[in-house]
Amino acid sequence: MRKMLAAVSRVLAGAAQKPASRVIVASRNFANDATFEIKKCDLHRLEEGPPVTTVLTREDGLKYYRMMQTVRRMELKADQLYKQKIIRGFCHLCDGQEACCVGLEAGINPTDHLITAYRAHGFTFTRGLSVRAILAELTGRRGGCAKGKGGSMHMYAKNFYGGNGIVGAQVPLGAGIALACKYNGKDEVCLTLYGDGAANQGQIFEAYNMAALWKLPCIFICENNRYGMGTSVERAAASTDYYKRGDFIPGLRVDGMDILCVREATKFAAAYCRSGKGPILMELQTYRYHGHSMSDPGVSYRTREEIQEVRSKSDPIMLLKDRMVNSNLASVEELKEIDVEVRKEIEDAAQFATADPEPPLEELGYHIYSSEPPFEVRGANQWIKFKSVS
């Protein structure tokens, strides 16, 4: 009897030590899903567009929240490591634009393809790579997703083609990936992203033309964060209706700060391409909190008040959180627990990214090809040779 009472007291004592929030979350009955109204998309050469209502399940909502928080915290950690001079070189952060990368991924299949410009960390994560592999790549370590040789602008994963440093150059490549999808007879699409700053590049219009002629399954996506480097869209473009820039290609303008808007628009665009109608153009109206890159303080061409207003009224994580809490899909305590878990994941990844060794010099020529026999690569002069291993 004494042993039984002691066992019961130990169980009760253990329960008392657990955080109150976990007990509350476990005992509360949440809704399985909820229906939300979303902003209607502006349309070009389309009779109808994505739906104006959508259903969000509790499971999806928690997943989206965790992913967006992870991207946000990862970018803030990258900011910190850069200021400590652990990350060097170019570094373009996407905090504020989390609804774009997470929403786009939610609207396509893992077998679909994606290529983007140099603000690529978020897409690298949503395409399936770990925070550890991304931060280690940023710090130039062997455990990075490109073995420490790519850095911020050159990260790759399965069906993810980077991270490209030349402004607009990824757009013809995306059209080429879409051509491969059609040529191989696969029911796949390619999401080809570029920014408002690249939208006036001539090669983009050449890619539009070829994609339309050959009816390629390509979704051209302009991430319009309102500033190309330090130049506002009004100063850079005679027409800021980027979704109409395809002219003969249908287009839609989407609220890029609302993950549900982005998800539904992406599903609509992907279905359009899969039906054999050819390419479509999406403009995601979004906003970046950081400057263009880490060398840009971001307040010489816009005011701090403007940034704060977007944070307070349109933050994508805040919008999703409010929806979920107000619709009984989650509690504040549960979301706070996710925040704590995400912070720990980021800290663990940062520890790895600073402790992992750099790649040795003899691996400089490795991985030029994915599956070729070893061969020699000439170094800075003809007497220096590096071996290349796939």
- The DSSP code sequence of 237-259 is -S---GGGTTTTS-EEEEETT-H
What element of type H or E holds 309? Answer: helix 304-314
User: How many CB atoms within 10 Å of residue 104?
Assistant: 31
pLDDT score recorded for residue 5 = 47
Residue ranges of alpha helices (H) inside 116-247 are 121-126, 131-138, 170-183, 202-213, 233-236
Taking 80 as the threshold, does the pLDDT of residue 12 lie above it?
Answer: no
Q: Would you place residue 6 in the very low, low, confident or very high pLDDT band (cuts 50, 70, 90)?
A: low
Q: Would you place residue 19 in the very low, low, confident or very high pLDDT band (cuts 50, 70, 90)?
A: low
Q: Which whole number is the average pLDDT over 278-289?
A: 98
pTM of the full structure: 0.92
Q: Which residue has the tokens 């992870």?
A: 70
Q: Are the C-beta atoms of residues 308 and 8 closer than 8 Å to each other? A: no
Taking 50 as the threshold, does the pLDDT of residue 37 lie above it?
Answer: yes
Q: How far apart are CA 178 and CA 166, in angstroms?
A: 20
Q: How far apart are CA 293 and CA 291, in angstroms?
A: 5
pLDDT score recorded for residue 278 = 98
Q: Are the C-beta atoms of residues 268 and 285 closer than 8 Å to each other? A: no
Q: Which whole number is the average pLDDT over 212-230?
A: 98
Q: What is the pLDDT of residues 342-384, one digit of tens each?
A: 999 999 999 999 999 999 998 989 999 989 999 999 988 889 9
Q: How far apart are CA 343 and CA 74, in angstroms?
A: 9
- Relative to beta strand 280-285, strand 251-255 is parallel
pLDDT score recorded for residue 8 = 42
Beta bridge partner(s), residue 216:
none
- What mean pLDDT value characterizes the chain? 94
Distance, C-alpha 244 to centroid of its chain? 24
Taking 90 as the threshold, does the pLDDT of residue 26 lie above it?
Answer: no
Q: Which whole number is the average pLDDT over 64-68?
A: 98
Q: Are the C-beta atoms of residues 287 and 298 closer than 8 Å to each other? A: no
Taking 50 as the threshold, does the pLDDT of residue 15 lie above it?
Answer: no
